[in-house]
Structure 1
Amino acid sequence: MDLLNALREPLFTWLETPVSWTELLGFGSGALCVWLVARQHIANWPIGIANNLLFILLFTDSGLYADAALQVVFIALACYGWWTWVRGGAPGERLRVRRTSRREWTWLLTAGAAGFAAIWLLLDRATDSTVPQWDALTTALSLMATYGQCRKRVESWWLWIAADLVYIPLYAHKDLYLTSLLYAGFLVLCVIGLRNWRGALRRDLAVAA
């Protein structure tokens, strides 16, 4: 409890809003994680898990309950993604970047729409969330994007870009200005990641041809 309280302590004030250790460490670990994903570096997974733990505390304190619960799912998916990146390719090969198939898109969009509706209803009726629809939307988009990241599907970056475009004003609305700035940085890194993964896909296709 002492550690949790220490993480909640404000370090400085920015835009008339106190910034805690939790938000600052979340900023740094989150930026590092996305940069590593863009470079297809396996270390993104343990760094991402640490980031998720920090964000559970931050989002719970800010009343973003779906985002807080989402971090628990992210931890489970990170364990799956970590294993997949190491073991999910052909024997003796790393997992390679691929495009999302039509079948994957069908069930992914169906699951995403159903998840959005269910989370919105839950937040609206069972919590004091002031932004249930936006919290639900970012949760659904993030889960869809994380699945694609675990499987190295290049279109996962488009889903992350869509989520970040909602996250940036949402966190600013909740006075999490440093986190909002972090997600603006994520948006830039997502564009870089999309470019890098597209390049990797083109190289793999050229080699296969």
Structure 2
Amino acid sequence: MDIVHWLFDAQIRFGSQSIYWRELLGNVFGLASALGGMRRRIWAWPVGIVGNVLLFTVFLGSAFGEPNAVNLLGQAGRQIVFIIVSVYGWYRWTRRSDTTSTSITPHWASWRERIGLVVVMVGGTAILTPVFTALGSYSPQWSDAWIFMGSVLATYGMAKGWVEFWLIWVAVDVVGVPLLFSAGFYATGLMYVVYGVFTLTGFFVWRNRRVRPSSAILVEG
């Protein structure tokens, strides 16, 4: 129990500012998961889940007794969805016929799937913005909703093996960096900057390793 209490309370202070170790550790696990995803390693999923649990406690700080906590409901809620989608991705990567024991073969999404991603991204953001506003999420709430929807769709795309999921992460990072800094989540904001560079690299890595269109039909089936 002492270790648990330390994990919840331990902070790093920079003058008048402080960062919880939970935020740092959660982002470290998240980065490790992203690295594993770029290399198409199945272990990326359970590692990511650990990071999700830690970051959930950070972004919903008021529920864990943090004084003057800034809640980002989209950021907190997406951690729960991440866990659910990650379990699905973990299962899918271990069951697909195009995988070995450690990797999955990237492929392009169809045009129909791409249009579906855009519609869900924009529509979901529009629907969630007033919901997050009513629940008291940090403003601007549309940014929180955009990050939530993009994160869910990117994780789902990773589970499907779509090359395009990296570009969704780029869209998340562009909005996420200013929101997180304005809310005082400096460690996560800096990590989003790193993610921005990383996701562009991941996109080109997956693009170069994608299957040919004729092979993609077999993968989709």
TM norm. shorter chain > 0.5: yes
Residue in structure 2 matched with residue 205 of structure 1 by the alignment: 212
Residue in structure 2 matched with residue 51 of structure 1 by the alignment: 51
Paired residues of 2:34 and 2:44 also in contact (CA < 8 A):
yes
Shift of 1:131: 2.5
**Consecutive unaligned residues in structure 1, runs of 5 or more:** none
TM-score scaled by length of structure 1: 0.89
Residue in structure 2 matched with residue 161 of structure 1 by the alignment: 170
Higher relative contact order (CA 8 A, sep 6+): 1
TM-score scaled by length of structure 2: 0.84
In structure 2, the CA distance between the partners of 1:15 and 1:121, relative to structure 1 (3 Å rule), is same
Equivalent residue runs for 1:181-200 within 5 Å: 181-200=190-209
Aligned residue type for 1:140: M
Shift of 1:88: 2.4
Alpha-carbon separation, structure 2, partners of 1:92 and 1:48: 20
**Consecutive unaligned residues in structure 2, runs of 5 or more:** 62-69, 216-221
Stretch deviating more after TM superposition (65-74 or 103-112): 103-112
Shift of 1:2: 6.5
Alpha-carbon separation, structure 2, partners of 1:137 and 1:164: 10
Alpha-carbon separation, structure 1, partners of 2:43 and 2:98: 21
In structure 2, the CA distance between the partners of 1:206 and 1:162, relative to structure 1 (3 Å rule), is closer
Residue in structure 2 matched with residue 11 of structure 1 by the alignment: 11
Residue in structure 2 matched with residue 23 of structure 1 by the alignment: 23
Residue in structure 2 matched with residue 76 of structure 1 by the alignment: 84
Paired residues of 1:24 and 1:178 also in contact (CA < 8 A):
yes
Aligned residue type for 1:35: L
In structure 2, the CA distance between the partners of 1:163 and 1:15, relative to structure 1 (3 Å rule), is farther
Q: How many residues align?
A: 206
Shift of 1:16: 3.6
Identity %: 29
Question: Within the alignment, does 1:99 sit opposite 2:108 as a pair?
Answer: yes
Alpha-carbon separation, structure 2, partners of 1:145 and 1:159: 6
- The C-alpha deviation readout for 1:79-120, integer Å capped at 9, x for no partner, is 111111111234879642110111112222222222111210
Residue in structure 2 matched with residue 36 of structure 1 by the alignment: 36
In structure 2, the CA distance between the partners of 1:128 and 1:48, relative to structure 1 (3 Å rule), is closer
In structure 2, the CA distance between the partners of 1:16 and 1:111, relative to structure 1 (3 Å rule), is same
Aligned residue type for 1:87: R
Paired residues of 1:87 and 1:95 also in contact (CA < 8 A):
no
Q: Quote the RMSD (CA, aligned, Å).
A: 2.3
**Which structure 1 residue ranges, 4+ long, deviate > 4 Å from structure 2?**
1-5, 90-94
In structure 2, the CA distance between the partners of 1:110 and 1:4, relative to structure 1 (3 Å rule), is farther
